[in-house]
Chain A
Amino acid sequence: MPETEKDQQDTKNVGLFVTCLVDFFRPSIGWAAVKLLQDAGCTVDVPAAQTCCGQPAWNSGDRSAAQSLARKIIETFETYDYVVAPSGSCAATLKKDYPEMFADDADWSARAVALSTKTYELVSFLTDVLNVTRVKAEFPGDATYHDSCSGLRSLGIKDQPRQLLESVDGLRLLEMKDAEVCCGFGGTFCVKYSDISNVMVGNKSRNVETTHAPLLVAGDLGCLMNIKGKLAREGKNVEVRHVAEVLAGLTEAPGIGDQK
């Protein structure tokens, strides 16, 4: 049966901003995002012209490099109904920083604001825009969730991932102490001030371990690589995955940083 006109109107045309870290290190997260969006009835496209949102430049004070990357992202994504990223941090750059970046530029300001209003982090897009309340996935065992800073404090993502994780068959969520405290990644911070970063990720690693959950999930790959890196260095055997992998039921691949 051909699609009715109403179906076509309701189909949300999503441009997936896969993020440079996911693109390079963990394509599995990209596929999980595609599956979750398609299962929720979206049409997903991944424009090839995308690279990096410019956050490292913006946060390091390089305004002109940040603006130049932001213009590329705006041009690449402004035709979609929605822009969705499997990262609270990168989504917040598009949503919160771009309008500020172009506040003094009449032409680009309007385009930045327009992009901002339709940009979402993946999990909150599923729950808040598409009204997804549960997912069809299975993961037997306990898991603990780390709240990544930008997602939590810039975008208000707190209950959404927990709600969907609770709907995963067999999964029991255990809250760790200080789940809302930064893991010490902070982009370039972790190499600029690696000694301080080490204290912070050490605390996080200890709090993860104390839950005895064999699985840690979060919504940002940067944090996950940092925490996994520390857990592994300390010989703590905890599997680490992006929340999208678990929600999509795509967990056959080894966890982040784990051997095949």
Chain B
Amino acid sequence: MIQHPAAKNFPKNVDQALKNETLQGTLRQVSGGFVDSRATARANLPEFDSLRDAARYMKNHTLQHLDLYLEEFEQAAKNAGGHVHWAENAKDAQQIVLDICADTNAKIVSKGKSMVAEEIELNKALEENGYEVVETDLGEYIIQLRNETPSHIIAPAVHVNKKQIEQDFRIAHSHLDPDRSFVDSSSLVREARHVLREKYFLADVGITGANMLIAETGQSVIVTNEGNGDLTQSLARVHIVIASLEKVVPTLDDASTVLRLLARSATGQPITAYTTFSSGPRRASDPDGPEEYHVVLIDNGRSKMLGSDFQDVLRCIRCGACMNHCPVYQAVGGHAYGSVYPGPIGAVLTPALSGVEDNKHLPNASTFCGRCEAVCPMRIPLPKMMRHWREREFEQHLTPAAMRYGLRFWAFFAERPKLYHFCTRWANRVMHMSARGKGRFSYLPFASAWTRYRDMPAPEATTFQSQWAKNRK
């Protein structure tokens, strides 16, 4: 069993990620692609930014009345013949799904891509109870074969290159001709499609996530580019939708606003290849569809975020734009974060879901460059919320002691201008002299973290304040 990295070991994970040349190769390849295509998609839609405002407003309103909209959704889904279940935490959610699978006498469970399934560790629970779980999203299928977790919320296998996938397929698909060749990526896709196709028909239960739940109609919505979600949910006898509470939107129109932003922000597509609305079990007149339709509404920490400093993060539509544009994510990839949700969204969400103590590095591993907020379709102030976490860490003494004392030491002087200027004048003189006219230092004992990688420019002679004072005399 591969040991998945943990968020508390972030510095160690980073070290390994930076030394992993294969990973660095794939990161270099992908980082530009999503950024450029999102920029083009935005440029091609003049109302893009006003759509963002509308979506933000809509979602804020929904969160303010979340209880009402969830109940409206529940009623509408029940009216359509569906079953709605409420899960307070991951354990409850697992149990609800296990019970449905047991009632169905299921053996094989097919799954569409779902981040909340990762969050509640659903695969593990299903496998431990003897079910065969088949991931049907290509990226999820690849990482399932590799026994890895997703490294990106919309591109789970973005860290894997073609050669690695080829190796994985040769091992996993040993029943196929060992001498077959994979000329390009589409031959890999073809093979996965062929293998998965059989499984769809064998699956008793199909589980999907939801990009949205629509309160007025009781529908759940998923977007995919592979069509695997459609097959997962319509070919199995039972369809289970798992979704966290904040996925609800009031109306079909609201869903349309989000859809116009989602793919553009994620992959730069105007819309994904498939957008599927599920409206309950198969009716008498329907040619196909599941016999049963279940929706599991998962709280797992969301309701505690309502009314807190972190409520705004519940607007997230999981497009992944924040991580695509994050220079830290681009440098280390998703696994280094050691959390289900990597990148800026994870830095805010993960401490809210599983505590700040084990995740204390995540909100700190940011320069606050603000690019995540600048591209977020829902205008979530991610840096501001990371700062809120840092404040809590400081209050709880989770901030490293050197940093705490350093800040207080600095503040002591900065609050006393006369003392401060006296000290900086002397420090400036000492530092300026020790550079001996070279203009910079290649090593400084008290700033070795800086000089390990770069030189430190030396200060010019005398501080500005002393020059100004002298000049005024």
Is residue B26 within 8 Å, beta carbon to beta carbon, of the partner chain?
Answer: no
Given contacts A60-B394, A63-B391, A257-B440, contact A24 B459 (CB under 8 A): yes
Which of B327, B395, B469 is in CB contact (< 8 Å) with A181? B327
Chain A residues with CB under 8 A of B365? 189, 193, 196
Q: What's the Cα separation between A59 and B390 when bound, in Å?
A: 7
- Alpha-carbon separation in the docked complex, A181 to B371 (Å): 8
Mark interface residues in B346-385 (1 if CB within 8 Å of A CB, else 0). 0000000000000000001111111101100000000010
Mark contacts of A151-191 with chain B using CB atoms, 8 A cut-off: 1 yes-contact digit, 0 otherwise: 00110000000000000000000000000111011111111
- Nearest Cβ in chain B — how far from A118, in angstroms? 21
Indicate whether A26 reaches chain B with its CB closer than 8 angstroms: yes
Residue pair A28, B460 in contact (C-beta under 8 Å): yes
Which chain A residues border B424 with CB–CB below 8 Å? Answer: 20, 23-24
Q: Which residues of A have CB within 8 Å of B460?
A: 25-28, 253
Q: B175 in the interface, Cβ–Cβ < 8 Å?
A: no
- Please, how many angstroms separate the alpha-carbon atoms of A87 and B185 in the complex? 48
Residues on A with C-beta less than 8 A from B455 are 228-230, 232-233, 257
Establish whether residues A49 and B456, one from each chain, have CB atoms under 8 Å apart when the complex forms: no
A56 and B406 alpha carbons, distance in the complex (Å):
10
Binary B-proximity of A214-239 (CB < 8 A = 1, otherwise 0): 00000000000110111011000000
Given contacts A150-B370, A153-B369, contact A201 B457 (CB under 8 A): no
Stretch at the interface among A65-73, A104-112, A125-133: A65-73
Whether the Cβ atoms of B454 and A48 lie closer than 8 Å is: no
Interface string of B291-334 (1 = CB under 8 A from A): 00000000000000000000000000000000000011001100
Q: Does B464 contact A (CB under 8 A)?
A: yes
Is B14 in contact with chain A by the CB < 8 A criterion?
yes
Q: Given A51-B420, A58-B387, A184-B367, A25–B394 Cβ distance below 8 Å? A: no
9 tightest A-B CB contacts, nearest first? A186-B367, A257-B457, A229-B454, A61-B394, A61-B390, A182-B369, A27-B464, A153-B370, A30-B464
A252 within 8 A of B: no
Q: How far is the CB of A91 from chain B (nearest CB, A)?
A: 14
Give Cα A32–Cα B441 distance, bound, in whole angstroms.
Answer: 25
Known contacts A23-B463, A27-B462; A59 and B414 CB within 8 A of each other? no
**Residue B2, interface by CB 8 Å:** no
The yes or no answer to B417 lying at the interface (CB within 8 A) is: yes
B336 nearest in chain A by CB position:
A196
Partner of B18, one of A54, A63, A187, A195: A195
B458 interface residue, CB < 8 Å from A? yes
List of B residues within 8 angstroms of A232 by Cβ: 440, 454-455
Contact of A193 among B14, B395, B463 (CB under 8 A): B14
The bracket for how many chain B residues form the interface is 35 or more
- Flag if B468 contacts A46 (CB, 8 Å): yes
Beta-carbon nearest neighbor of A205 in chain B: B454
Given A49-B417, A200-B331: A194 touches B370 (CB 8 Å cut-off): no
Docked CA distance A92–B370 (Å): 12
The complex places the Cα of A199 from the Cα of B467 at a distance, in Å, of 37
Establish whether residues B410 and A52, one from each chain, have CB atoms under 8 Å apart when the complex forms: yes
Which of B368, B373, B439 has a CB less than 8 Å from the CB of A254?
A: B439
Jot down 5 A-B pairs with beta carbons below 8 A, ordered by A.
A27-B462, A51-B421, A58-B387, A191-B450, A256-B457
Q: A22: CB under 8 A from chain B?
A: yes
Q: How far is the CB of B239 from chain A (nearest CB, A)?
A: 42
Chain A interface SS verdict (over half): helix
The answer to whether A229 and B456 have CB atoms under 8 Å apart is yes
Q: Which residues of A contact B467 (CB under 8 A)?
A: 27, 30-31
Please name the residue on chain A nearest to B472 by beta carbon. A46
Nearest residue (CB) in A for B370 is A153
B74 to chain A, nearest CB (A): 37
When distances are taken between beta carbons in the complex, the residues of chain A under 8 Å from B458 are 257
Cβ of B89 within 8 Å of any chain A Cβ, yes or no, is: no
Indicate which residue in B440, B452, B468 contacts A194 across the interface (CB closer than 8 Å). Answer: B452
Residues of the A chain whose Cβ atoms lie less than 8 Å from the Cβ of B399: 60-61
From the candidates B368, B410, B456, name the one contacting A225 in the complex (CB within 8 A). B456
Please, which residues of chain B bring their CB within 8 A of the CB of A153?
A: 369-371, 373-374
Question: What's the Cα separation between A154 and B395 when bound, in Å?
Answer: 27
A192 on interface, CB distance cutoff 8 Å:
yes
The residue that A195 contacts in the complex, of B15, B415, B457, with Cβ under 8 A, is B15
A260 contacts B by Cβ under 8 Å: yes
Task: Assess the B387–A197 pair: CB atoms within 8 A.
Answer: no
CA distance in complex: A28, B415 (Å): 25
Q: Please, how many angstroms separate the alpha-carbon atoms of A149 and B407 in the complex?
A: 23
From A30, A56, A180, A258, contact of B439 by CB (8 A): A258
Q: Please indicate the chain B residues that have their CB under 8 angstroms from the CB of A63 in the complex.
A: 391, 394
Give chain B residues whose Cβ lies under 8 Å from the Cβ of A57: 407, 410-411
> By CB atoms of chain A within 10 A, which of B331, B364, B452 has the most?
B331
Do residues B394 and A230 form an inter-chain contact, with CB atoms below 8 A? no
Known: A25-B457, A260-B437. 5 other contacts (CB 8 A): A65-B411, A193-B364, A203-B327, A226-B454, A260-B439
Are A186 and B369 in contact, CB atoms less than 8 angstroms apart? yes
B189 within 8 A of A: no
Minimal beta-carbon separation of B242 from chain A (angstroms): 34
Contact of B454 among A27, A201, A256 (CB under 8 A): A201
- A200 to B395 alpha-carbon distance, docked (Å): 30
Hey, which chain A residues are within 8 Å of B447, CB to CB? 191
Q: Are B328 and A59 in contact (CB under 8 A)?
A: no
B414 contacts A51, C-beta separation under 8 Å:
yes
Nearest-neighbour CB distance to chain B for A234, whole angstroms, equals 9
Chain B residues whose C-beta falls within 8 Å of the C-beta of A25 in the assembled complex? 457, 459-460
Q: Does A50 contact B (CB under 8 A)?
A: yes
Q: Within 8 Å CB of B438, what residues of A?
A: 259
